[in-house]
Homo-oligomer: A and B are copies of this chain.
Amino acid sequence: MVVARRKLTDNKKTTRARPAKGRILDAAERLFAQHGFYGVSVRDITDAAGVDVALVSYHFGGKRELFTAVFQRRAELLNAERLEMLEGVRRAALPGVPTLEAIVNAFSYPLLERSARGGPGWKSYFALVAQVNNSPEWGPVLMTQHFDPLVERFIAVMREALPTCPAQEIYWGYQFLTGALTLTFAETGRIDKLSGGLCKSSDLDSVHERLAPFVAAGFRALCASREAAKPGGP
């Protein structure tokens, strides 16, 4: 009997061959990125995915769990990639320390590259991260949980590269970096309008060329103005 061949009916579940779970994740990623967690209903998602409403509960447990599943899905791969690049940069500089530009780049390039050329799923994912990072409700939970281990390693390497710089300066510098980076991912098109079309928020290659020099110079300025004033005080 024929077993490998799927029968070609026109009912809902066979209109696309891809399994429902992945299609739900993709649709949820896109819609959550656009409108946020509360701005999207489970029905919006399952309609967009072309699957039944009940499958969200079946595969994920509920809407909230779906949201965290979306957030989690790409985080692991991403962080492995960034960690590898960071350690590569560190090894390449031995017995010295890497430049600040190289460190910042290891932190941001894998993200910018995926967002630019990884496909629409990745683009949505980073827009979602941008919103979560700036949300008092979700940021402290999700960002901390999924990205802080990598960030700690990143900051440790930064401190090796700036041995005389007080730790606070590195932490504040990191906050400025992540703010600049995540707003970039939001791609709101605001810079397009402001610049009269001269800059495009979708042009992540331009961001890649500029972010590391900008941030590295910022770190140096912070450290320069502080390391002398460290011991004692006025």
Contact = CB atoms under 8 A, between A and B. Distances in A.
Interface residues of A, number: 67
B137 A182 contact: no
A168 B199 contact: yes
A213 interface: yes
Contact of A222 (B35, B136, B214): B214
A144 interface: yes
A179 to B, nearest CB: 3
A211 B144 contact: no
Contacts of A210: 169, 172-173, 176, 222
Interface of A: 33-39, 127, 130-131, 133-137, 139-140, 143-144, 148, 151-152, 155, 167-169, 171-184, 186-191, 193-195, 198-199, 201, 206-207, 210-211, 213-222, 225
